[in-house]
Chain A
Amino acid sequence: MENQKQGHIANRNEPVISINGLFKSFGELHVLKGIDLNVFKGENVAVLGKSGSGKSVLIKIIAGLLKPDQGEVIVLGKHVDKLQGRELDELRLRIGFSFQSSALYDSMNVYQNLAFPLTMNSKHLGSNEIKDAVMEALDAVGLPDKTGQMPSDLSGGQRKRIGIARTLILKPEIMLYDEPTSGLDPVTSSEINELINDVQKKYKTSSVIITHDLTCAKTTGNRTAMLLDGRFLKIGKFEEVFDTNDEQVKRFFSYNFIQ
């Protein structure tokens, strides 16, 4: 229990993300087969599952990057699948998305990467205000001295941090993390987990953390949801989810534990 997350208490009355009866297929491949999930204000929900189980598809639907085949996805009171154009953009400004590959723009340095969403969305801001916002976001992820570096010069952990900083610059209410610790060593993974918790506390965000890393789920999630065969097997506290006789869940747990 020492590692149990000591995050702030979620407000159970206000779901910021509400997903009901979500289905998504790609041709013959049925990825999500009836997903129901509520994420409450200030809460971190870790979604665990095998590679290819549709975890990333789930958050891409939440961010409006993919359309669901069936079901409703309500984010901050708006039906994401029904939004278009400016309305969708306005909602997206309230959501931060940290990509598995960090998705930093290759042709821009760190400063330009962070300033880009701000300059494109807040035309009224002056260069000094943009500079202050960039430095604040870089400070929040602990990399204030990397402004001039190109993404190719950064380590995997630094890229993840800069990716998170780029989303924080727009002060999102919801953070979506896609495999934040994948491909990182245990020490860097632990730093990223701490950063996710710091972001939750400092920016008062609600988050969905997609991961197959049990340590990440346990450290960052107020609740954990186990995704198996396109459905949530169990949603609850980390220990409750793994208190089961399901063979697949046991195997998932023991493999991660041995690792």
Chain B
Amino acid sequence: MNLGRTKKYVFTKVIDNYLIGIDKAYEFTVRFFREAFKRPFHFREVINQCFEVGLRSLALITVTGFIIGVVFTKQSRPSLEDFGAASWLPSLMGIALVKALGPLVTALICAGKVGSSIGAELGSMKVTEQIDAMEVSAINPYKYLVVTRVMATTITIPLLALYCSFIALYGSYINVHAEEATGITLFYKSAFTSLSFLDLFTSLAKTIVFGFTIGIIGCYKGFNATQGTRGVGKAANQAVVLAMFLVFLEEIVIVQIANWIRYF
């Protein structure tokens, strides 16, 4: 009887904590919009963070983007050739890489690299009282640490996604060129002809949302880190897992909204 009660208590406590966590994350996100448009603005720190985010992920995105372009082209060619549609390869690559793979791959790489790094950095600052030290020096740590980082990821990740798509298309072009000696201008023109303004706009909107999500989750987990160094590791890990999960969720929602707009 007692054991049953205890189990019930533990279960309700888990639900309580889960709901409280959602409320805290919501408050944390709403605070961003309250603080982002208030003075003082730390433009220099935003630029520093943009540089950090971009530099941290650029090499990995270049290599991954190129490989995705090559591999996806290699794997798509036989299927298209079966239908005599190999000439549609640039169009298929344009749609696949710019609309879906470029933004998604960039977001996943940045969730891993940037999200974990922000989570660990802020988590470490939290457990070593550096965030408290800012607060007692009359410096708003949310504004200086969170707003600047979230702005940086929101600005930089769309640019990285665009870069990733171009590099992936270049990888695809190298593969196509090896088989058919197609010119680069013709390849890129064919790739982009099949894309509408809505496709490009959706792709951009998606990456802005991904960038914001990665930044805010990394900051939220880091800012709320507890339990010393163990908590720092946990914050970094949770930042990656949660950001990746939300990126997939947002991908579904945004694609669905774009499809509704397309058929409306």
Contact = CB atoms under 8 A, between A and B. Distances in A.
A166 B132 CA distance: 14
A99 B138 contact: no
Interface residues of B, number: 15
Contact of A92 (B40, B124, B136): B136
A101 B128 contact: yes
A93 B40 CA distance: 17
Contact of B129 (A89, A90, A99): A99
A97 B128 contact: no
A250 to B, nearest CB: 33
B138 A101 contact: no
The 10 A-B residue pairs whose C-beta atoms are closest, nearest first, are: A103-B133, A89-B138, A117-B137, A103-B129, A97-B136, A92-B138, A99-B129, A120-B139, A93-B138, A63-B136
Interface of A: 60, 63-65, 89-90, 92-93, 95, 97, 99-101, 103-106, 116-117, 120-121, 123, 166-167, 170
Contacts, number: 56
Q: Which of B40, B128, B133, B135 has the most CB of A within 10 A?
A: B133
A92 B137 contact: yes
Contacts of B124: 106
B139 A99 contact: no
26 contacts: A63-B136, A64-B136, A65-B132, A65-B135, A65-B136, A92-B137, A93-B137, A97-B132, A97-B133, A97-B136, A99-B129, A100-B129, A103-B130, A103-B132, A103-B133, A104-B133, A105-B130, A105-B133, A106-B124, A106-B125, A116-B137, A117-B139, A120-B138, A120-B144, A167-B137, A170-B137
B145 to A, nearest CB: 11
A101 B136 contact: no
B137 A120 contact: yes
Nearest to A100: B129
Interface in B106-142: 124-125, 128-130, 132-133, 135-140
A113 B138 CA distance: 14
Contacts of A101: 128-129
A164 to B, nearest CB: 12
A62 to B, nearest CB: 10
Nearest to A169: B137
A90 B137 CA distance: 10
A105 B137 CA distance: 13
Nearest to A117: B137
Contact of A106 (B40, B130, B136): B130
A99 B137 contact: no
Contacts of B40: 123
Contact of A121 (B128, B129, B133, B137): B137
A60 B129 CA distance: 11
Nearest to A56: B129
Nearest to B135: A65
